[in-house]
Amino acid sequence: MYLTLGLFILPLAVNAVNIVLSNDDGWADSNIRVLYRTLKASGHAVLLTAPAIDQSGTGSSMSPPASLEHQCQYHTCPFGSPATGMWQTDPNITYVNSFPASAMDYGINISGPERFGEKRPDLAISGINNGNTDNSGIAVPFSGTVGAATHASILGIPSIVFSGQTNHRHAWKAIPPLHSRLYSALATNLTNTLLASGPPYLPPKTFLNVNFAAADPGLCDQESNFRFVMTRLYPAFPGLSGKDISVCGGDQRLVTEEKVLKTQGCWISVSLGRAVTKRDAPMEEQKVVYEKLKSLFVCLPDGQ
Ligand SMILES: *[C@@H]1O[C@H](CO)[C@@H](O)[C@H](O)[C@H]1NC(C)=O
Ligand SMILES: *[C@@H]1O[C@H](CO)[C@@H](O)[C@H](O)[C@H]1NC(C)=O
Ligand SMILES: *[C@@H]1O[C@H](CO)[C@@H](O)[C@H](O)[C@H]1NC(C)=O
């Protein structure tokens, strides 16, 4: 059974689950809205719970939601609006006027139970961020997109961060641009592959950090052009960093996100981090996740 969404054809998820979805670019950004629709089209129950305005670069900051002393992003709510609110035509699209981690927290603790009942969300997703959290992971500690996801993982809900190199922001009402549609289709594919592996979806208090190469008309414009590679967030320090799983002949060392994203082609890096430290997860946990996603993974052309 297939549903079409723009260019991309998505199989229905085998395991439909409850998902909380946040970001740091704001609730009215086209990337998060297209991902919301794509996840729903794939069969999931989704609650969008994201900041009222752009909150990029705010890391794991948190504060109680406050009423607005400005408009919501792209004039989607007026000055003086309440601290939280919902989209006129869809109560499952909500804003929280605070930091990304607080928006995720509010979605999990307050609006989630109203939508999903007693059952907590099965999965938290953050993104799709406009711009990559690459540079060998140095941006990870400051990313609000990562902050929202790691907060969910710390509360016991497995989380995935998605970011894309194409960094052209569009408002919710724009015709969905190629990168929003393409990245959403790829994100939904990875999500459904992970869900199909069965719970627990990730080792406790870990998160997946996923970065997409640029969506490039004529070069990287089809879902089938892209390839996933298992990576590390940070370069390893010889003698200090524990060993990684051995894949692609890497002698117990995974390639870094940065290396994958600097390699010519349509690559996607997938790293496993620990939510509290935002650093690479140990080998035993990498192995669990590699097994779950191994149908997606390939090696870089140089064998690394
Ligand atoms: C909102 O989510 C709930 C829980 O999944 C669902 O029952 C309801 O139909 C959704 N509402 C809309 C307008 O999609
Ligand atoms: C949400 O729940 C978690 C865990 O129960 C708790 O630590 C956190 O303070 C709660 N947040 C709010 C805003 O109540
Ligand atoms: C993911 O994409 C690949 C290649 O396009 C496809 O074979 C696979 O069935 C997809 N998996 C899911 C879960 O959508």
pLDDT digits (tens), the chain, 304 positions: 344 445 566 677 778 999 999 999 999 999 999 999 999 999 999 999 999 999 988 899 999 999 999 999 999 999 999 999 999 999 999 999 999 999 999 999 999 999 888 889 999 999 999 998 754 466 777 889 999 999 999 999 999 999 999 999 999 998 999 999 999 999 999 999 999 999 999 999 999 999 999 999 999 999 999 999 999 999 998 878 899 999 988 788 999 999 999 999 999 999 999 999 999 999 999 999 999 999 999 999 875 5
Q: Which atom of ligand 2 is nearest to the CA of 106?
A: 13
Q: Which of 60, 151, 155, 276 to mutate to test the pocket of ligand 2 (most atoms within 8 A of CB)?
A: 155
DSSP string computed for 140-180: GGG-HHHHHHHHHHHTT--EEEEEES-----BTTSPPPHHH
18-293: CATH architecture: 3-Layer(aba) Sandwich (3.40)
Q: Residue written as tokens 């929003």?
A: 180
Q: Which of 189, 226, 228 to mutate to test the pocket of ligand 3 (most atoms within 8 A of CB)?
A: 189
Ligand 1 mean position, distance from CA 301 (Å): 44
Q: What is the pLDDT of residue 119?
A: 84
105 close to ligand 2 (CB < 6 Angstrom): yes
**Cβ contacts of residue 57 below 8 Å, gap of 6+?**
24, 142, 143, 144
Ligand 2 mean position, distance from CA 105 (Å): 7
Q: What is the pLDDT of residue 7?
A: 53
Minimum CA distance residue for ligand 3 atom 14: 189
